[in-house]
Structure 1
């Protein structure tokens, strides 16, 4: 158990994507020879893609190993009761050099039935955005399924979608069923349920190096889209320094914004692990005398068994996540 109580880092799993770019390497110092790195999976329990510990006493152990060995001490009593040996979140940094496909994710019920998976509720925090960069979130106006299919058929779907110009710090909550796409020039942090299920409905008619278009999921998506969804996706939040400012709280995760400019002594009052994503600057996190530095684009996990810890920085912005 004493092995477990320290700030844990995992080796990033880097993903090449047709729409990926260079920012994860140039801005976040991710190590890759590829030119089109689209995603860095920071903490993953996706089937076949488990994260591996990169530091300390547990170095070389997989996320699955930690769950099976430490159970409630790792993720919390209630979380272990619900999720057993399955980690509930997938934590990523994403760089879109080109527009991502227009897509959506199924809810828990559909995902379980069709894919034996969780649904995919997620949130985005914009870390950097080129000038005039945009995201697509939801529809502009009321849309019926027939109207939607007509635009899909005529390849005019973007005309009925809502676009949002974005800047650093903008935050969006993407519920299951909401049509969305990350636009070219945006780099962001993503927190989501552990799921790799995406229904792609429009891909800008682009082709890969072999000249093939990517698969679309028109039929699967149709009964997964929420056509009634309100435009409540943009998150407003406080930015009081040296305090946890809640941004998103849903059944799947709670995320707070924490700007650190001094030494904070914190207690883990949750029956949960804590995850810190550094979205600006750098900080030092200390547990029982063991310190680990977290720089922009890095992620640290504190197991549920960690009761007290310190965060020290002259200037850092962190996302603090628990379930």
Structure 2
């Protein structure tokens, strides 16, 4: 039987986490410092498990290795994508991620990390750090070493519904009061540049990675150029945020009925608001806010009836 693979969340405590994953989505979170929901993940630091059907209890990692046909018999050794929801109850550390080549050389073969953010909700006046002002590596290094963060860091006001593309090499950080869906390469490599001199429960400051950060930061900063397009499909508005060598990311806003055809070997779907019915052949499943599922390779067509908003991603077509 053809069926969507619904996935159990994997929660991660973070020094900057809070309770919004419970308050907004109703998740049963482990603590009041829950910072991340690894919603669709095959990363060893938090693999998702399937909660329905023939593969119930299997991890996404196991399916990738044991049932490659579900993913169109991919050539990649590892599942390439990771979908997270982040609750930035306080500021995240200012950080940067390496590209694939640098991560492979310096992080035991790990992937680099290009990512993007969809702002689900945020406090009035919320900001992100996105980029920096330095024009040369020497200037960047000087400002970092002097701790002159107000001069170095570029801050941007945000609002719900905004989308930001964060390629490897981009200095970035989520600000206080921000709830975000993040689509990224399946990597957990982060180089911290500045952490507000915070200490953990034991009184220790978190490690910084200044040498590596200086190595990989894009200088001068360049804003990503996106060609965001919205098209009508039945009773749905389909927005394409980005489509490149790492992933394609879309927003589905459905109010009624929309029919879809697969455009990639598999599709990752996160329901951010509303509810509806997912129909595959003659089988129907209720879907609602907080659900995350994967449509495997044997599903070429599906229909959604309802009123909902979803963020959707697919692997690169290469």
Which of 141-150 and 39-48 deviates more?
141-150
**1:233 to partner: Cα distance:** 6.1
Whole-angstrom CA distance in 1 between matches of 2:218 and 2:300: 41
Aligned mate of 2:101, from 92, 103, 109: 109
Aligned mate of 2:283, from 285, 290, 296: 290
Q: Which residue does the alignment assign to 1:13?
A: 10
Do residues 255 (structure 1) and 249 (structure 2) align?
yes
Aligned mate of 1:308, from 280, 301, 312: 301
Do residues 29 (structure 1) and 32 (structure 2) align?
no
Distance 1:136 1:157, change over 3 A: same
* Contact kept? 2:42, 2:59, Cα under 8 Å: no
Per-residue CA deviations over 1:243-269 (Å, capped at 9, x if unaligned) read 422111110100111110112222214
Aligned mate of 1:74, from 48, 55, 70: 70
Whole-angstrom CA distance in 2 between matches of 1:291 and 1:124: 30
Do residues 162 (structure 1) and 154 (structure 2) align?
yes
**1:236 to partner: Cα distance:** 4.3
**1:239 to partner: Cα distance:** 6.9
Q: Which residue does the alignment assign to 1:43?
A: 40
Q: Which residue does the alignment assign to 2:270?
A: 277
Whole-angstrom CA distance in 2 between matches of 1:168 and 1:302: 27
Q: Which residue does the alignment assign to 2:117?
A: 124
Name the Cα RMSD after superposition.
1.7
Per-residue CA deviations over 1:131-173 (Å, capped at 9, x if unaligned) read 110011001x343222222222222224321111111100000
Per-residue CA deviations over 1:266-304 (Å, capped at 9, x if unaligned) read 22143x111111122223222233333332232111001
* Contact kept? 2:228, 2:240, Cα under 8 Å: no
* Contact kept? 1:138, 1:180, Cα under 8 Å: yes
**1:211 to partner: Cα distance:** 1.0
After superposing on structure 2, the runs of 4+ consecutive aligned residues of structure 1 that deviate more than 6 Å are: none
Structure 2 gaps, min length 5: none
Q: How many residues align?
A: 312
Whole-angstrom CA distance in 2 between matches of 1:265 and 1:107: 36
* Contact kept? 1:105, 1:177, Cα under 8 Å: yes
What SS is found at the alignment partner of 2:8? coil
**TM-score, normalisation: structure 2:** 0.93
Distance 1:219 1:277, change over 3 A: same
Whole-angstrom CA distance in 2 between matches of 1:19 and 1:233: 30
* Contact kept? 1:239, 1:259, Cα under 8 Å: no
Aligned mate of 2:185, from 169, 193, 206: 193
Q: Which residue does the alignment assign to 2:215?
A: 223
Distance 1:196 1:104, change over 3 A: same
Whole-angstrom CA distance in 1 between matches of 2:31 and 2:226: 33
**TM-score, normalisation: structure 1:** 0.92
Structure 1 gaps, min length 5: none
Whole-angstrom CA distance in 1 between matches of 2:304 and 2:60: 24
